A and B are shown apart, each in its own frame.
Chain A
Amino acid sequence: MVDKEEVIRIVDKHQNGLGHLISILEGIQIRYGYLPEEALRIVAEKTKTSVVEIFGVATFYRFFRLKPIGKYLVSVCLGTACHIRSSPQIIEEFERQLNIKAGETTADMEFSLEPVNCLGSCALGPMVVVNGHYFSNVTPSRVKQIIKKTREGLDKVDVDQDERIFPVEVSCPHCNHSLMDSKQLIDKHPSIKLTASFGEKHGWIRLSSLYGSPHMESEFEITSDSVVNFFCPHCNAPFIKAGNCPECDAPMVPMIVYGGGIVQICSRRGCRQHMLDLSSVNL
């Protein structure tokens, strides 16, 4: 499982041999996710030291692991502030739910549970971090929910609850007529109705008004990667190009946001580039 050549390459990257032991071990852990026994033996052989010294360093630092960890690393803070707000009960609840002890990994290699001493967010305690996603003010009853959310995918955005999601109301930059269609909802919010054309086809398109949401409906199928021309459904004027997409170089389409500012979206199907420009707003 451990590729000897690869470990030797990691060791050779550091000229100073044993003086760079921590960097070497770090490199191995980044590659394998933990420190495999064979790898440590190869390091000892290459740096001409005894295995016991390498092993001593590897067990001294908490950062280094000698066992592989699961797909999700659940860190439960047991620092002073979290501790007095009953984080021990939270870690107990995790132990019960995942059926493992703290410091262990589930048999399906999905979850690893680890107690940590402080995450530096004491005011938000008790804290739980799953693969870099922070959960604050955790209670034992929320543990189940955190595990469920982790299983479903941590990056999935909850449209109803996520505070980062907000709807925008937009109007045509040409005639200033509102583009909102409150009869047709997308993402449970009024959609933005435009006329779209590409190639020979011409028809309506509805975009989600939630800022950042890629959801949309259209009268006809728009093939991926094709650039669409947008028109106002009221004054039929084409939307003027406001610049090129920094991602894919397609024209960016501007719309005026109700209350001030301009929102731009990329006109290429599949490109999610968008930006909100509030520089013209007098706050």
Chain B
Amino acid sequence: MVNLYINSVRVSMEEGSTLLEAARFMGFPIPTLCHMEGLSPYGACRLCVVEIGEGTRAKLVSSCTYPVEEGLKVRTASERVMKARRMVIELLLASCPQSKQIQDLASSFGVRQQRFKQEHEDCILCGLCVRMCKEQMMAGAIGFQNRGEKRVINTPFNAKSEVCRLCGGCMYVCPACQLRCTYTQPDKAICGGCANLEPPCLEKEKFDDMMCYMSPCVACEIKKD
């Protein structure tokens, strides 16, 4: 067992577990987007940053990938952590303003202002769907492509994958398409359940008469008002 201090509370964890697990075990809330139990930690969203070390050697690390260390002092909600987390949320919100999950995060962290240009992306490249497809569905139908600003998630050769079983696991875990409700045009609030079938399921015609899979439909709610 490894002993460490989270927010000055002593905690014993099994060796090999992560700071996120330790903090959650003790009941300290740490927001995450790209973390999911059953999938390998990835450290992409940076929402789970915590501060470790003391004085000038203190630094921010992503708690979902950092293993517990003997005597480590962790602060999960210091001023520096909260500032960094709010910045991350603000940036995520700029790239994916329609995501209900990111909007909820923003409101719970008091991010009211969004200073960056809204990109209306449909992906925050958290890699949840890629890991879901590979590790839980054992398919490996989608993956990252290209590099830098051109990085996208798609099927190999951008064609329908022969290993995809249309299980929908990727959509299920996606924080950007979950409860996302804008169709392809961000300013038109129509339910986009069908459009969100991209990229993994490229044969959209098949889903022409599909009913909205979200409940309750956010667009319908907006329309009512």
Interface residues of chain A, those whose CB is within 8 Å of chain B, are 37, 40, 49-56, 59-61
Contact = CB atoms under 8 A, between A and B. Distances in A.
A61 B143 CA distance: 15
Contact of B163 (A37, A50, A55, A61): A50
B157 A55 contact: yes
Contacts, number: 38
Given A37-B157, A50-B163, A51-B156, A56 B134 contact: no
B140 A56 contact: no
Contacts of B163: 50
B90 to A, nearest CB: 28
Interface string B131-158: 0001000011111111100000001110
17 contacts: A50-B134, A50-B139, A50-B140, A50-B141, A50-B143, A50-B163, A51-B161, A52-B155, A55-B143, A55-B145, A55-B157, A56-B145, A59-B145, A59-B146, A60-B144, A60-B145, A60-B146
Contacts of B134: 50
A37 B157 CA distance: 8
Nearest to A54: B156
A50 B139 CA distance: 8
Nearest to B138: A50
Is the contact region of chain A dominated by helix, strand, or loop, or is it mixed? helix
Given A50-B134, A59-B146, A60-B144, 14 more contacts: A50-B140, A50-B163, A51-B140, A51-B156, A51-B161, A52-B141, A52-B143, A52-B161, A53-B140, A53-B143, A55-B157, A56-B145, A59-B147, A61-B147
A59 B141 CA distance: 16
A52 B146 contact: no
Contacts of A60: 144-147
B147 A52 contact: no
Interface in B104-146: 134, 139-146
